[in-house]
């Protein structure tokens, strides 16, 4: 479920983000150890080849220099592969949890979307009884038909007394309260979409880290030119970005088609009614999904 402000238990996104920070910090430590060992090897190399250089023994100097250069290349490649292995393992953990988290969010969304749609279908959208177009089209529910035959002038809602005390304007314009409920429903249900989107974005960041690690291995491997590596990184990065955009588009389309369009239509009609009857409050415009 979307996390409410003040929840004691952190949501999955926060846990995975913290885990990502820990992983990145650990990688910094791994790199620091590698750099220290490399520095130690460099000092040892100088200790070995300096006598050859001073003695003018070019053959042994070349042989020793080649040995240490090859050893440094092997160490760099081994370290790059170790980084890639750790990053892939971490990515697998994140992906598993993201898939599970998205499934939980989708399940929760579909638990509340149908009942909300049923309530919205019962809201009259006509300005007056004469605006009814007959409401006899086939395929519509009886509740929807009743909503079409009625008008907002006939629409009655119950407002808690505490809300009336806090907002006296509800007495003359009760649909202001209903509009606030629509806004709350819109924002609350859209949180399911935001949660999924944020999880996908986090997974995208980790996939990008895997890509960087793969490119580093290619750079360290013999025969891997920089141009080839850069081309590979560019193509793969674009593929990952396109995949993220498609996932976000799908979840947003699910919300829009399942609930968003209906909420928006009813909200628009209620807003028009409030404007026509002198009950519109400009501050209401800043509370919808568009302002998130």
Query: Rounded to the nearest 5°, which phi and psi values hold at 173?
Result: -135, 75
Top pLDDT among 151 and 106 is at 106
Q: Print the SS3 string covering 230-292.
A: HHHHHHHHHHHHHHHHHHHHHHHHHHHHHHHHHHHHHHHHHHHHHHHCCCCCHHHHHHCHHHC
Residue 150: predicted pLDDT = 63
Top pLDDT among 152 and 23 is at 23
pTM of the model: 0.80
Burial class (CB in 10 A: 0-12, 13-18, 19+), 45: middle
80, 202, 218, 232 from 226: Cα distances, Å = 16, 28, 9, 10
Residue 119: predicted pLDDT = 86
Nearest one of 20, 17, 267 to 123, comparing CA atoms: 267
How far, in Å, CA of 81 to CA of 78, rounded? 5
- Does 9 score more than 80 pLDDT? no
Whole-number CA gyration radius for the chain: 31
First to last CA, the chain: 18
Q: Which of 14-18, 201-205, 226-230, 284-288 has the lowest mean pLDDT?
A: 284-288
Residue 156: predicted pLDDT = 80
Torsion region of 223: left, alpha or beta (phi above 0 gives left; psi -120 to 50 gives alpha): left
- Does 64 score more than 70 pLDDT? yes
CB 30 within 8 A of CB 90: no
Nearest one of 167, 191, 171 to 180, comparing CA atoms: 167
User: Partners of 126 in the beta sheet?
Assistant: 151
How far, in Å, CA of 208 to CA of 230, rounded? 14
32, 71, 209 from 28: Cα distances, Å = 6, 23, 13
With a CB cutoff of 8 Å and minimum separation 6, the contacts of 50 are none
Residue 285: predicted pLDDT = 67
CB 213 within 8 A of CB 91: no
Share of the chain above pLDDT 90, in %: 53
């Amino acid at each position: 479920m979307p996390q409410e402000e003040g929840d004691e238990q952190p949501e999955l996104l926060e846990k995975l983000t913290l885990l990502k920070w820990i992983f990145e910090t650990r990688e910094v430590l791994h790199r620091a150890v590698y750099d220290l060992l490399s520095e130690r090897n460099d000092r040892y190399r100088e200790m070995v080849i300096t006598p050859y250089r001073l003695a003018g023994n070019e053959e042994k100097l070349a042989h020793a220099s080649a040995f240490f250069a090859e050893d440094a290349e092997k160490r760099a490649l081994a370290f790059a592969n170790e980084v890639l292995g750790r990053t892939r393992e971490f990515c697998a953990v994140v992906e598993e949890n993201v898939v599970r988290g998205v499934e939980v969010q989708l399940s929760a969304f579909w638990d509340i979307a149908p009942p909300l749609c049923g309530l919205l279908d019962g809201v009259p959208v006509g300005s007056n009884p004469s605006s009814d177009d007959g409401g006899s089209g086939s395929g519509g529910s009886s509740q929807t038909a009743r909503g079409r035959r009625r008008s907002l002038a006939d629409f009655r809602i119950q407002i808690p007394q505490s809300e009336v005390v806090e907002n006296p304007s509800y007495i003359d314009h009760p649909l202001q309260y209903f509009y606030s409920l629509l806004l709350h429903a819109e924002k609350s249900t859209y949180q399911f979409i935001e949660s999924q989107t944020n999880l996908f974005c986090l997974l995208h960041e980790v996939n990008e880290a895997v890509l960087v690690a793969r490119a580093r291995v290619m750079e360290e491997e013999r025969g891997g030119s920089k141009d080839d590596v850069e081309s590979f990184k560019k193509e793969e990065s674009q593929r990952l970005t396109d995949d993220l955009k498609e996932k976000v588009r799908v979840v947003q389309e699910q919300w829009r088609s399942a609930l968003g369009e209906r909420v928006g239509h009813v909200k628009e009609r209620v807003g028009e009614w409030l404007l026509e009857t002198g009950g519109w409050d400009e501050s209401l415009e800043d509370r919808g999904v568009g302002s998130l």
